[in-house]
Amino acid sequence: MSVLSGKKIVLGISGGIAAYKTATLVRLFIKAGAHVQVIMTPASKDFVTPLTLSTLSKNPVHSTFYNEDDENAQWNNHVELGLWADFMLIAPATANTLSKMANGNCDNLLIATYLSAKCLVYFAPAMDLDMYKHPSTLASFRALKQFGNIMIPAENGELASGLSGEGRMAEPENIVAFLEKDIESKLPLKGKKILITAGPTYEALDPVRYIGNHSTGKMGFDIAESAANNGAEVILISGPTHLSSKNSSVKIVRVTSSQEMYEACHSYYESVDVAVCAAAVADYKPKNIATQKIKKSEAAFTIELEKTKDILASLGQLKKNQYLIGFALETENEIENAIAKIQKKNLNLIVLNSLQDEGAGFGKETNKVTFISKDLSIEPMPLKSKEEVATDIINKIIAHYEIATKK
């Protein structure tokens, strides 16, 4: 899955021949899973039609502050567009538009949105080779870089003038690759390796029956997606579940029993920076597993159980520099039991679930958690979707490393 998936992009198009390439650029953004709003300068409509771009982006195209042909038309709010975007890309960025950006010459909707944007701004210059090297253009490049804008360098090739040289706008595929690489390099968990457990475990009684629980694995999978979207390399050890991940940064290790999950966790733990144990691992398993299907013969049937290995406690004992997060699902004395687990299992953070809370527990799309840290600070959270809870957990990890970096 592309790092652009889910990103909100404002694409600004100025009036150069390279504007024809923006149809392909929009298509690539949409294919990557991004949301795109297009702003065109009036001159750019001579090179590519708003209808084409609105069809591809699935959004109306903006080019003026309001529709002069409709006296009841609403104002196209440049401030709102600038605040909506995760990042803004101006491509092609002509010499004229670059000069306006550098000097704040706000005479069209595109420049007004650029000056209002709070997000990161990329620009892809496109012009003839002599214009590209002209001192005024070079001054615009320097000014925009000083503002914190990021330049996607022009490429060498045939130009509209018939000459060949530097000044050709980067090809759409290369622009997308540039953005993905740059965004990935800025992700807060880039370079971190995170182990996550998810789902139930099934403890066999015989070849066809098992003891299990109602965990779907959704919470753990959502945490894995959020971690990967923030740049982490993820090892997701999952018990039986129908869920999967399309993110190439998530490696899924499928297991069935608590013993298999124990072995998988220990095989990876030493190499990871963070471990998040969100799986609902069985506390007990049958002491003896029948080799043949148990027949229904007696009116009563007794199963002797024995404790499974405590994965979280064992990782706490082995912990060196890992940031270790556990989950606690409680039905009574929730805070006291969770605090005891933090101390007993040497955790940095525990995520407490209570089955007393409506909307929390197995098989739900929502969850209501309380974060309790090693220093025993308690942070109750409102009912949220599991995706939002996953984001909160990952933000705790990010905050941990931000604090560590400042020390």
Positions marked active-site:
213
Q: Which DSSP symbol is given to 92?
A: E
Rounded CA separation 320/182 (Å): 32
For 163, counting Cβ atoms within 10 Å of its Cβ (0-12 exposed, 13-18 middle, 19+ buried), the class is: exposed
Q: Is 277:311 a contact under the CB 8 Å cutoff?
A: yes
Rounded CA separation 32/338 (Å): 41
Checking phi first, is residue 289 left (phi over 0); if not, alpha (psi -120 to 50) or beta?
beta
Q: Is 378:335 a contact under the CB 8 Å cutoff?
A: yes
**Which amino acid is residue 67, in one-letter code?**
N
Q: Is 189:397 a contact under the CB 8 Å cutoff?
A: yes
Rounded CA separation 318/270 (Å): 8
What six digits make up the tokens of 87?
A: 């990042």
Helices assigned H by DSSP within 8-124: 22-31, 50-57, 78-84, 95-103, 109-116
Coil, strand or helix: which one is 196?
strand
Strand-pairing partners, residue 276, are 196, 325
Strands (DSSP E) along 233-367, which ranges?
A: 233-238, 250-254, 274-277, 284-286, 305-307, 323-330, 349-354, 366-367
Q: Is 353:328 a contact under the CB 8 Å cutoff?
A: yes
Q: Is 326:351 a contact under the CB 8 Å cutoff?
A: yes
For 384, counting Cβ atoms within 10 Å of its Cβ (0-12 exposed, 13-18 middle, 19+ buried), the class is: middle
Q: What residue has token string 């045939």?
A: 158
Q: Which residues contact 214 (CB under 8 A, 6 or more apart)?
A: 200, 362, 363
